[in-house]
Amino acid sequence: MLLRPTIDDLRLIAYNVSRMLLISAAAGLVPLLWAVAAGELAPAADFLVMVGLFALLGALGVAWKPTNDRLDWSHGMVVVALIWLVVPIVGSVPLLLSGNFASWLDAFFDAMSGITTTGLTLVQDIDHMASSMILWRHILHFLGGQGIIIAALSLFSGAGSATLYFGEGRDDRIYPSVRSTSRFIWLVSIVNGIAGILALMLVAYLDLGFSFLRSFFHAATIFMAAFDTGGFAPQSTSIGYYHSAPFEVVVAVLMIAGVMSFGVHFALWRRRSVMGNLETKTILFTFGGTLVLTMIGLAAARAYASAAGLGRQAFFQVLSAHSGTGFSTIPSSELATWGGLAFGGMTIAMALGGMASSTSGGVKSLRVGLTIKSLAAQVKQVLLPEGAVISGRFYQNGPRQLTDELKQGVMGISLLYVALYLLGGGIGLAAHIPLQDALFESISAAANVGLSVGVTSPTMPSVLKLTYAFQMWAGRLEFISVFALVGFLWSLARGK
């Protein structure tokens, strides 16, 4: 039987959760100040309530400081799982008060979608939403992408803090210490942010004719959604709103930057080649394969009149799906008509996901590559003479060995993702959603993509809203933290 957590355990978890709530309170000041500057007084009051709640909860937990602040593995995992629940609960308050959501569940759904960098939304009339509310939704992307945990690790030191880093699904330790690695991630984000926002502003100002302030607002929000592979957009028609090929090119570059692991960013900064990495080879192969499948499907259906139009739409949508971003240049109603091979290509791209230790979701390319390598080794073992030695070596930022333990871990997480995809699909079928649509929407939620064929809407059943919210949460945390929280609650209730 599991041991019941002690008061010291509860204080340790509450203390670490509370420090991150204070970071969230600081982040909430950004839309608050924006609302004041923009003259949006009602939203400003809503954000003041949210910041107050974050600050109050954070102060209470920090005041309850434990005698021993060392986080062990289980504590860190529970802290991460709780943060990804508490922040969207409190962060949904201004969204609910905005009047753009039919219920608290809808507002919570959007906050969860934001912090898990998914991009599915239940917002009503976003085209007339207050700009500060739009900004907050995108800041949630940034908090979930490289905000709360990374900021906490950068600012606060403490024994066992590495468990927080690994608990949110990261496994690249670029520098010997997690704190130095976290600061490097912030540096990469800042540099990409400056370059990305300036590039988007330039296109918006010169090509689209936006004013300077409007150019900045759209550039900043689109950058946060693209680099953090989130998918929220300031307008209901997503990237299709801009009708600009140069704008799409910049967004595509940012999606590529977002889908790359920070280990790859580090290697590129040091001018090292990453083409020999198993993960790089795998993602190029899967992206190329799913793009070809999609293009063949669209060509067979004669969905577009010209080859240029077909190529442009297919490339952007497949890149958005594979990177887990969820941007679209076409309406969801048009995406719903992509059947056959086009549907298969998009669905596979979403399910596979991007690189490990990025904000992208899905199974992740490294696991896909290791799975393929494991299967190939088994086939060779059958075909080669008895006693033949099969090499288990692969290259990923240096030579590594594909051990039995690594194989089991890869297959275990991969199968959990498949089970999560099927869970949402099955519940969608039970809610009378057609199989193709139910599967597409389930994978989009569980892989933290955000593309929709029209299933996700304020009118869908509450059970689907709860299911997709759970899928976004579990998929973003890659299950281990979720299992740790469930075990902790079980031991709290039934432990001896």
- pLDDT-derived band of residue 374, with 50, 70 and 90 as boundaries? confident
Please give the Cα distance from 53 to 22 (Å, whole number): 10
Please give the Cα distance from 39 to 342 (Å, whole number): 46
Region 265-275: mean pLDDT is 86
Q: How is the chain split into domains, by residue range?
A: 1-169+461-496
Q: What percent of the chain has pLDDT over 70?
A: 91
Nearest to 164 by CA among 174, 143, 150: 150
Region 43-58: mean pLDDT is 96
For the CA atoms of 132, 133, 138, 141, the dihedral, rounded to the nearest 10 degrees, stands at: 130
- pLDDT-derived band of residue 71, with 50, 70 and 90 as boundaries? confident
Digit-coded pLDDT (tens) for 97-148: 999 999 999 999 999 999 999 999 999 999 999 999 999 999 999 988 875 6
Answer yes or no: is pLDDT of 385 > 80. no
Average pLDDT, the chain: 89
Between 190 and 199, residue with greater pLDDT: 199
Region 261-289: mean pLDDT is 90
Q: Computed from CA positions of residues 265, 268, 270, 272, in that sequence, does the dihedral angle turn out positive or negative? A: positive
Q: Is 301 exposed, middle or buried (0-12, 13-18, 19+ CB in 10 A)?
A: middle
- What pTM was computed for the model? 0.93
Q: pLDDT value at position 167?
A: 47
Digit-coded pLDDT (tens) for 322-356: 999 999 999 998 999 998 899 999 999 999 999 98
Digit-coded pLDDT (tens) for 413-463: 999 999 999 999 999 999 999 999 999 999 999 999 999 999 999 999 999
